[in-house]
Structure 1
Amino acid sequence: MTETTVIRDVETIVAYDAVCDRHVYRHGGDVAFDETGLLCVGQHFEGQATTELSGKARMVMPGLIDIHCHSHDEPLAKGIFEDVGTAALWGQAMYEYSGVIDGGEDARAACLTVMLGDLMRSGATTVLDIAGAHDVWLDIAAQSGVRGYLAPGFRQADWVVHDSHRLDFEWDDKAGRDAFARALDFADWARAHPSGRLDGVIAPSQVETCRPDLLVDAAHEARKRGMPITIHAAQTMAEHEELLRRTGLTAVQYLDQLGVLGSDVILGHCIFADHHSWTRQRTRNDLQILAARSTTVAHCPVTFARSGMALETLGAYRRSGVNVAIGTDSYPFNMLEEMRQALVCSRLGGKSVFDITTGDIFDAATLAGARALGRTDIGRLSVGAKADMLVIDLNAPSMRPVYDPLRSLLHCAAERAVERVYVDGRLTVDRGKPTQLDYDGAVREMQALQDWACARAGLHDPKGRNIAELAPMSLPAFGR
């Protein structure tokens, strides 16, 4: 028997207005749902309910869509490399430092559990995770209760940094093609998973680490399957300059010339388009190309802001007609904090409080993410949509006083006010605790895993530096 839940007399509902294609506040009314979807949004629910809950001092809102994140080893790197970077590569830390912390296969389960737990606690109900395929990925994603899009990455070249100033590429075309074949198999397995909540994504890892024919073939295979395509593109100045050297084109222009861009493509980051102040171009064509091709940009401000980099600007992309969705990329895996940072960075970049609004950011984290995945049944609260939603405690101290509840949530409260999270009508987070995962156990395991990975850091560094040399402590240390 299908269980039906109704939340009675909800103080505030963030409902979807289909006529205007936007979210609206509705005050009062019920929200009813079961595993098949939403049965009532804002009216009085007359049907039979298995469970009745009070909506007093509560806001019910659609679940958030994280369109770009990485599990794998990313949670292990927390607190290590935030103050470092490669000066000759525009301060970007990724090329020289990202491969130094390697937890090995034994770390995959804990890293994935912590990432999914943190994302769900901060309101993410749909997650697009880009990582290396591993044995427990499908099982843990399904167990968590999240709506998961799993994107096994593949590439033909590895980055090599020489003497902390020159970026080169080591190519192995066969290995890349073999990884592509395995990725296609994994994406098919994800789609066939009995949970019905998982799907595959075709993910050439970076635009500059794949040959043009592999990018074209990847897009072809994705479209044959009706799956999304995601590619890191225009994410760093080093990549931007490398593509100019090879092709004379920006990443956006190059992918467009290959015929890869389209409404099923999600470009990771897409910061250094031709209008960006750091680039050598003096044109403004890339945003128009993205808008014309209905291609999505996955905007993940926190990771890049740590290195002094920012999109110029989220408001400008939206005004150009580009579909921009929100991702978290790496830690802290907090969707609500990511949204706050997206708003702040956009206003700083645009030098104006008017560059973007709280409502715009909420749209990017919900409706824009749904558009990126080709879906009209998530990222919104409307009858017939999936029952993916959050219950926010308006009495939480960090929310009070409440004038505009979304502003209180995004500017002040974040995950502290998230009381419950539902995916497909099933409770996945209750009072800040994931209900389907051993989150606390995974968090405890992470310290030993990080200690082990840090002790081995010198094995993965071309210069053989130990972790103390790679990532000096914030303060001088005495004792022990």
Structure 2
Amino acid sequence: MSDTNQARITHIQNLATLVAWDAELGSHVYIENADLVMRGNTVIHAGTGYSGPADVVVAGSGLMAMPGLVNIHTHPSSEPGNRGLLEELGSDKLGQSSLYEYMPVFRMGIETAQYANQVAVAEMLLSGVTTYVDMSLPRPGWADVVAATGIRGVLGPMFRSAAWRTPDGHSVEYAWDEAAAVKSFEAALAVVDSAVNHPSGRLGAMLCPSQVDTCSSELLKQAQAAARRLGIPMQIHAAQSVVEFSEMTRRHGRTPIEWLDDQELLDGDLIIGHGIFLNDHRTLYWPHADDFGLLQRSGAHVAHCPTVFARRGIALSFLGRYLRAGINVGIGTDTFPHNMLDEMRLACYVARLQAGHFRAASTEEVFNAATVNGARMLGREDIGRITVGGKADFSLVDLSHPYMRPGREPLRSLIYSAGDRAIRDVYVDGEQVVQNGKLLTIDLEEAMQQVERAQAQTIATVSQRDYAGRGIDAMSPRVFPCRA
């Protein structure tokens, strides 16, 4: 940001509603007929009656300003290429997951990662996300690609000790290579350095050992030590599948959560990606553990991504239970589309279905999960909320949109009815990145064309990677047959 932009005062005047942070209440609050003022990338006024100077005045009439959403778990370098392929696929002999039989076969090459990244970030920005965690494989130029989109990115380079494969569709094998793990970990550390020292000032980092069942204890302990030295969090996929649960109990006689605790890894600096298959999940029978209690006592966080699991009949049990026990839960868009508002709505509905009652997840809880809870995982109090001294990361919502009306309760209308259709403008670090629903920082059409080309190349060769040599129409049939 230039010195001129740092000094520029922008006044968004007479907002119909401002979703601001009240430090005394420890809560978001509605303020009506409010002003939101920023100097450069910092909020200097959030409330009524601003009468100070302004270089730029923006009419806020008919708009709601809300804090930028924090997307705590994404795989944007690969997931856009899975659209049209994975929505209805799972392995009925591998716990209904798509992880082992399908995802490795459909994965695009790393040369397309930057374009997939742009597509995913575009979806996030258009749904009000201003900060996201990007869990991807290390690659050159990653930091520059993310910075150019204008979003606040937290790069989470992934690394592991073993790769998995299924040789038959009903079992999973692990190929261990610790020498390769060391190189991958070194590459991850280089990514972290490129992010935290990036000149944009908008990038951060976390370390992301890939999965609890693919990482050795030694690798995880090295990662934990490095994360502590660097002052950054760590995130790992754990309790995400029946296969993983069975594998960890077979190896160690311990659940994935118990094993992490045994290794002294389960603490307030660790984010558990998914955290679904605890020992008391209804699909398991392992009554001898207390995974929920371990999560509760450890202070570990959970990244909740309902869409990717709901597609396969799988769900966390249940969101309100975790939150009300004091387990900090954030929201992520693990899969496509990277539409955070859709994810938030589904988080509410899935929790209520799982619990069998409508109080299993409230709008307040889900909005907090997508804002302040995610920010807490990143160790930040200057994002995920609109507060004086905080970062100027926010969205302007069009309250005149038909799906926002009648307008008594704007956040309910946004989450349950309008979704991203009502997001008009988005600002990150004081800079506008979406204007009147249009992206200002990403050539989405060009990126989408590149992803389409890469997907076509990938599906043309799936039989070479599939254990059974199946072609695309056998692996992922079309909804209806094509006729001439």
TM-score range, shorter chain: over 0.9
What is the SS of the residue equivalent to 2:470? coil
Q: Aligned partners of 1:226, 1:341: CA distance in 2, in Å?
A: 33
* Cα distance between partner residues in 2 of 1:8 and 1:373: 31
Which of 390, 394, 398 matches 2:395? 390
Counterpart residue number, 2:218: 213
Q: Which runs of 5+ in 1 are unaligned?
A: none
**Correspondence 1:406 to 2:414:** no
SS class of match (1:116): helix
Contact 1:34 1:424 in 2 (8 A): no
Structure 1 counterpart of 2:111, from 83, 95, 106: 106
Q: What amino acid does structure 1 have at the position aligned with 2:447?
A: A
Runs of 4+ in 1 over 6 A off after TM superposition: none
| TM superposition shift of 1:287 | 2.2
1:243-322 correspondence runs (5 A): 243-282=248-287, 285-322=290-327
Q: Counterpart amino acid of 1:217?
A: Q
How far apart in 2 are the matches of 1:143 and 1:44? 36
Which of 184, 187, 192 aligns to 1:179? It is 184
Other structure's SS at 2:454 match: helix
Once the 2 structures are TM-superposed, how far is the Cα of residue 49 of structure 1 from its aligned partner?
1.1
Amino acid at match of 1:178: K
Is the contact made by 2:255 and 2:289 (CA closer than 8 Å) also made in structure 1? no
Query: C-alpha deviations, 1:161-190, integer Å up to 9, x for none?
Result: 021111111111111111111111211111
Between the aligned partners of 2:76 and 2:34, the Cα distance in structure 1 is 39
Contact 2:463 2:472 in 1 (8 A): yes
Instruction: Kindly indicate whether the alpha-carbon contact (under 8 Å) linking 1:151 and 1:203 is maintained by their aligned counterparts in 2.
Output: yes
1:33 touches 1:40 (CA, 8 Å); kept in 2? yes
Residue matched to 1:126: 131
Judge conservation of contact 1:216–1:260 (CA < 8 Å) in 2: yes
Residue in structure 2 matching 1:61, options 38, 60, 66 = 66
How far off its partner does 1:419 sit? 0.4
Q: Secondary structure at the match of 2:104?
A: coil
Is 1:193 aligned to 2:179, yes or no? no
Partner residue of 1:475?
A: 480
Pair 1:91 & 2:91 matched: no
Aligned to 1:430: 435
Give 2:158's aligned residue: 153
Q: Which amino acid aligns with 2:443?
A: D
Q: Distance in 1 between matches of 2:261 and 2:355?
A: 27
Find the counterpart in structure 1 of residue 370 from structure 2: 365
Q: Which residue of 1 aligns with 2:352?
A: 347
Q: SS of the residue aligned with 2:293?
A: helix
- Distance between the aligned counterparts of 2:110 and 2:260, measured in 1? 33
| Equivalent in the alignment of 1:31 | 36
Aligned equivalents of 1:187, 1:197: Cα separation in 2? 13
For residues 108 and 211 of structure 2, the distance between their equivalents in structure 1, rounded to whole angstroms, comes to: 22
Separation of aligned partners in 2, 1:32 and 1:353: 38
Aligned counterpart, 1:231: 236
Alignment size in residue pairs: 479
**Aligned match of 2:455 in 446, 450, 459?**
450
**Aligned partners of 1:17, 1:90: CA distance in 2, in Å?**
44
TM-score normalized by the length of structure 1: 0.98
1:458-473 superposed matches below 5 A: 458-473=463-478
Deviation of the 1:262 alpha carbon:
1.7
1:100-130, CA deviations, whole angstroms, 9 ceiling, x for partnerless residues?
1232233112101001111111011000010
Q: What SS does structure 2 have at the residue aligned with 1:39?
A: strand
Could you tell me whether the CA contact under 8 Å between 1:116 and 1:144 is conserved in 2?
A: yes
Contact 1:64 1:125 in 2 (8 A): yes
Change (3 A) 1:209 1:447: same
RMSD over aligned CA atoms reads: 1.2
CA–CA distance in structure 2, aligned partners of residues 421 and 251 of structure 1: 39
1:348-375 residue CA offsets vs partner (Å, 9 max, x unmatched) = 0010001111111000000100111111
Residue deviations 1:125-180 (CA, integer Å, cap 9, x gap): 00001001122311111011111100110011111102111111111111111111
**Per-residue deviation, 1:284:** 6.8
Paired residues of 2:41 and 2:431 also in contact (CA < 8 A): no
- Displacement after TM superposition at 1:466 (Å): 1.1
Distance 2:205 2:359 in 1: 38
The percentage of counterpart residues that share the same residue type is: 39
* Residue segments in structure 2 that go unaligned for 5+ positions in a row: none
The Cα shift of 1:282 comes to: 2.4
In the TM superposition, residue 233 of structure 1 has moved relative to its aligned partner by: 0.4
User: Does structure 2 conserve the Cα–Cα contact (< 8 Å) formed by 1:288 and 1:320?
Assistant: no
